[in-house]
Amino acid sequence: MTAAAPSPCIGRFAPSPTGALHAGSLVAALASWLDARAHGGRWLVRIEDVDTPRCVPGADQLIPQQLAALGLVPDEPPLYQSQRGHLYQAALDTLVARDLAYPCACTRADIAQANAALGLAKTRHGELVYPGTCRPENGGLRGRAPRAWRLKVPQGPAALWTWHDRRLGPQTQALDATVGDFVIRRADGLWAYQLAVVVDDADQGITHIVRGEDLADNTPRQQWLQQCLDLPTPTYLHTPLVLDPHGEKLSKQHGAKALQPEHALTDIQRAGAVLGLCVSETTLEKWLESAQKAWPWC
């Protein structure tokens, strides 16, 4: 009798092309690559260019070039979310048919006003909890024009979402009190990150999600969406963030410097140190090989 083949591991790095790769985004890229390789798996790159107003021309080309200069080469050509609207539409149609999604007419001001009336404050990154104004059972659009589409989140005890992060351990979030019914198609017609990421991770067969810790609190929303669409749930590992001198997450928006190919070994060693990897080698190739062996989350 032959032993069952271990399930294949497929990891991914999913940058938004809002600028060049920098010391912060490299940590997530490297961690996802190391995790896939240490599991003997495949590694893919997906360009998350659905939020077109935030995309910087040329960044979608530059990021894969920067990754290649660091020895991080995907097993398939990068996939572009901007070309996958038909898949997101099909998912939305399914959610509507299942009575899980509904149109919403509320503006930010409407939501802020409704929250103020309920005595609710802003939560994550200043986002507002949606109080369910346009839920069909609360009266729906009441003659107002639809703007966005929202996904219903569970209410009451079922809203208390628990999940496991491979680095951070057990996590909990009350989906109703922290987020509320969330946007899956935006008022400007663009697809929301939550829907696109879930559809694509499933479509690409991603089994291991590795990304920055700032995205950890999206996980309950994404796992709920996976359940709503009968999709498998991958494992999750959220990596430490690189902070700027003010203690803020290093980001393209706040002027993080683009990585330069001539500093590849130093840059990768620095990113490795953020991940707790004390590997010192004299070439990039050797460093990547030793780091795979030292990868602690296998």
- Residues engaged in binding ligand GLU (CB under 6 A): 14-16, 48, 197, 211, 215
Whichever of 14 and 148 has its CB closer to ligand GLU, that residue is 14
Cβ(257)–Cβ(66) below 8 Å:
no
Whichever of 16 and 207 has its CB closer to ligand GLU, that residue is 16
Backbone dihedral angles phi then psi of residue 173, each to the nearest 5 degrees: -150, 135
DSSP 223: H
Whichever of 104 and 197 has its CB closer to ligand GLU, that residue is 197
Nearest distance from residue 104's CB to ligand GLU, in Å?
A: 24
Whichever of 241 and 284 has its CB closer to ligand GLU, that residue is 241
Letter string b/e over residues 70-104, b meaning 16 or more CB atoms within 10 A of that residue's CB: bbbebeeebbebbebeebbeebbeebeeeebbbbb
Nearest distance from residue 197's CB to ligand GLU, in Å?
A: 5
Whichever of 197 and 274 has its CB closer to ligand GLU, that residue is 197
Three-state DSSP class for residue 43? strand
Measure Cα distances from 65 to 54, 78, 104, 208, 241 in Å: 20, 11, 41, 23, 23
Angle at 12 between CA 11 and CA 18, to 5 degrees: 165
Identify which of 99, 95, 126, 130 has the alpha carbon closest to the alpha carbon of residue 113.
130
